[in-house]
Structure 1
Amino acid sequence: MTTSGRTRGFFQTSPRGNTNGRVLLFITTLMVIFGTIAVASASEGQASANGGSTWSIIVHDLIYLGFGAFALYVMTRVRLDRLVKSAPLLIIVGLLLLLAVKAIGVTSSGGKRWINLHVIYLQPSEIFKLFTVLFMAWLIQHHHNELGNWRQLAIWTLPISVGAGLIVIEPDIGTSSVVAAIALTILAVAGLSKRLLGRISLLGVVVFGGYMAYKPYSAKRFFSFLHPNSDLLGSGYQLLQSKIGLGTGGLAGLGLGHSREKWGLLPNPHTDFIFTIIGEELGFIGTLAVIGLFVAFLFAAIRIAQQCTNSVYRYIVIGITTWICVEAVINIASVVGWWAVTGIPLPFFSYGGTALVTELAAVGLLYNIAHDTSRSGDVTIHEHRLTNFRDVIEGRPSARPSGRSVQHQHVRRETPRSL
């Protein structure tokens, strides 16, 4: 791993990035600006109902945006090798924060998910997503030869399992599902056998079924999207109002700021259902713009992964991309009635405090990786057993590489035992 141009300690000189990093940063900036405008409009009704100024919620959102911008900058300057080495410590910190939620957490909207720091409310489950990405990358780097054994896999991924379990009992099954998706995707791309992936998936289904059996009210709410009309004033009400809002928007919408649903009809219009308000005010065109930005984000992140000359950093890119895109898909599917409403926010758009800060920190990390890749010289790539999906992610050419690419990359490949 090259360390040229770095300073001693945990931080490096300010990176300039490369084209891929700048494109990703530009797309993220567009989403954040779009999201801030959407929150300003969608939060008017809730802010008025709280008895304060109609701008009170957006002011808090801008404060968190400031923290997020700072977190992004810090992550662009952090030394990647030192950050990965600190992953075991970070996952322990994440678990301690989740335990602190159980001890001193604040209950809101039927769940205990936040810690009141008086200045801000901290949501550790959001931070745990980023720590999961880093820990899984570290785990594969140092213990990939042990992960082909079911018992060793269970032991080494125990911190992730415990964290996901603590998040489930908050309760927040949506966020725990995202954590599981991050870990499983990284393991799959690293070459974990289909047999072990199948066992893990089956175990997840059993745990999910047990939770739903233990919490019948949660099960009713979760599966209400299948038959929303059976309880229009109860579990199906939120989805009904969401569909009304999207339908009212039509092609071009009612106009920015002219939503009707945000005035007490649709619960959580500036958080979980921000996509509905965008559709109502800006119409089908506005929703397509949101989806288009996420697709652009996905392709920009894949491009960074393809350019990575270090497999550990590639796993970080894949983990973060999975996190952002899975949340976007779940949120949008929920508000249109294709999936259960689980409280997953729309990344970069929903008002969420800690979520926005950690998402921007993750983007800073992607930018840092893009910069590291652009100035890497001779490096060692640790290859695992490849699947077709990994060929796409890594940009593996179908034909013999050109002499120019070999001459300028000088990549030495080592092939340890696959998972």
Structure 2
Amino acid sequence: MDWIPHASALAEHATRPGSPWRTPITDTPRHTFVPRWWKATGNGAWTLQDGPGDAEAWMAAAYSDRSLVTQVGTSHADHARPQDHPTGKPTSSSTLPTLVVQMLEHAAIEDTSTVLDVGTGSGYGTALLCARLGAARVTSIDVDAYLVKAAGERLAELGHQPSMVTGDATGSLPGPVDRIVAMVSVRPVPTSWLAALPAGGRLATTITNTSIILTATKTEDGGAIGRIERDWAMFMPTRADADYPPRDRALLKRARIEDGEDVGPGRFPVLDVIESWEVRSMLELAAPGIEHHHETDGDTRTALMLHTDGSWARAEQTGQAPPVVHQGGPRRLWDLLDEVRDHWLRHGRLPLYGALARVTPDGTIHLRRGTWNAVIG
């Protein structure tokens, strides 16, 4: 297969002229890292896509600017049978190349930098680092032993032999390194990341359940100073086990059918919070860990909010009629969402993006923009 024209086209799409990442993308066969992947069927299940079985479709998928899910729960596509249809959350993927480049650029990597790549995944991002810096300057870590093994073997096929580490990225890390760039999300900044960076070292990461990109430079006191970039990205959260904890289906069922202790008209139209990244990120600061669902049935839209503390909310709206909001549990989740939307309408913007960030040595993130401030701990 002649993959080079595909890689060249992808590089031109994913990078600006003169980008130091254009040549690495041009020279890296992405299809090597995704021979098989999962495709969502639309009903909560996934179906297997086999690259070698359809070379044309393989090239089209591998060199498109989209993420390819390689693992759902504990089911990796490498080990799957055609009749397998796993359900659940993705636990690994080959991230869309523009997003990989976006994070690498936020990390301000130089040609002489040593880099820790957090979240090996398919290994494609690691390959780009090796192609630019040389494998001796690259370390990659993932909690999943198979991901590390498979990526290491595929990297070796291309002549790259970086340091590959299996372990919890929020625990002890190899170091020191000049840069840490994460293709997973965290909350707060792990203290091990700060320990692995020398003063002047830089990290680029996203915050769990938000579209926040945090960049920060290590300071002499063991913390870091930086900002929330005026940019957006979302990644899977770090995990310590083979899969993420199961969702509370009983609470979801209650939220669908119960009236709740608080029922009344909503102040604003029903919003798909999942797709409203700015609002979702601001809400996550006020009430971390809310699970969102959005459903459409004809002209009726329903939004569901759940939290592990037992709080839930359901807002239903048909056409342009005012929504009806049901809330239960110890907190009123929809009221918290309305507070964020009210701020947006009153001020014309949300203050999060562009905020200054100070990371204390324990990893807590203190944000400030004008008179607004918040803490991510």
With normalisation by structure 1, the TM-score equals 0.22
With normalisation by structure 2, the TM-score equals 0.24
Name the structure with the higher strand share: 2
Higher RCO (C-alpha under 8 Å, 6+ residues apart): 1
Name the structure with the higher helix share: 1
